[in-house]
Structure 1
Amino acid sequence: MSRKPMPVTGLVMGMVLLVCILSVFMLIKGAWFSPDKEAVAVVEEFYRFEQEGEFSSSWNLFHSTMKEKFSKGSYIQDRAHVFMNHFGVETFDFTVSEPEEIDEWKMSKTGPAMKNVYKILVTQTYKGKYGNFDIEQEVIVVKEKEEWEIVWDYNQ
């Protein structure tokens, strides 16, 4: 006589399988979408826009405090004028460092404290009519309204 599997055993096996699948998904999601990786991704996106001369798109990735410092129009005009015209380059290469998590940071001495930020060193390499040169800048990435955004350091 053969025994029929108990329905409870199938239900338990199904639940164990579901827990295993969800655990693997959460591990993968954590590896791909961790806050430090998201911060690096927004910095890379910003500088890819800058490379392509899409300054309007890069300006959109600024934190609201940066957008208060200069209008979109003046930013577009200044970036194109200074980097492309004065330096005599059409584009640049860039590298980004590993992100450094900072508990609290201020854009300027009198600015508001921002919490849970990442600091990333960006090195832009230009090859232009005045030779080859690098510009290094610490870029701060902070979450505002569930979006990671760019802030530059104005501390003296």
Structure 2
Amino acid sequence: MYRKTALIKRILMGMALLVCIVIVLFLIRSAMFSPDKQAVAVVEEFYRFEQEGEFSASWQLFHSNMKERFSKGSYIQDRAHVFMNHFGVDTFEFSMSEPEQVKQWKMSKTAPAMKNVYKILVTQTYKGKYGNFDLEQEVFVVKEKEKWRVVWDYNQ
């Protein structure tokens, strides 16, 4: 009888330990892979590519609505020409605000509404031949086909 009771206690302790491990793993996953953290990560990746002049890679992170606005080739050419050549800089620093969830948002007045969007204010700091200056832009991140994608605001 004592062996049976001891065995039952061990089984219950093992089950309790397993439940605790599952809960801890769930909490870690939720903290590290929450939607707002994923949104921040994609914006960070986008601007790291931009810093390095990898405009082809940053273009890939655009939402399909953004890709319709300009082709990959023209984006690469325009970004390099305007930011690097006209501003006279090789790269820039950037900072980001905390993400703010927006329940519904439109890229432009005629665009369809997007749901569960995150808004992040990005500040790019340039130091170039025309002095130092900051460029601020609200960047929006929305899930498209299970991947977070960058969208810019074209509302007037």
- Give TM class, smaller chain: over 0.9
Match of 2:67 in 1: 67
2:126, 2:146 → 1: CA distance?
33
Percent identical residues: 75
The corresponding residue for 2:55 is: 55
- Residue aligning to 2:11: 11
- 2:2 is paired with a residue whose SS is coil
Q: Which ranges of structure 1 fall in alignment gaps of 5 or more residues? A: none
Please give the secondary structure, in 1, of the residue aligned with 2:47: helix
| CA deviations over 1:34-60 (Å, ceiling 9, x no partner) | 111110110000000000000000000
List alignment gaps of at least 5 residues for structure 2: none
The alignment of Structure 1 onto Structure 2 pairs a total of residues equal to 155
**In structure 2, C-alpha distance between the alignment counterparts of 1:116 and 1:104, rounded to whole Å:** 6
State the Cα RMSD in Å.
1.1
Runs of 4+ in 1 over 6 A off after TM superposition: none
Give me the TM-score of the superposition, normalised by structure 2: 0.96
For residues 1-150 of structure 1, the aligned pairs below 5 Å read: 3-4=2-3, 6=5, 7-150=7-150
- Aligned residue for 1:78, secondary structure, equals helix
Q: TM-score, normalised by structure 1?
A: 0.96
Map Cα deviations across residues 87-133 of structure 1 (whole Å, 9 max, x no partner): 00000000000011000000000100000000000000000000000
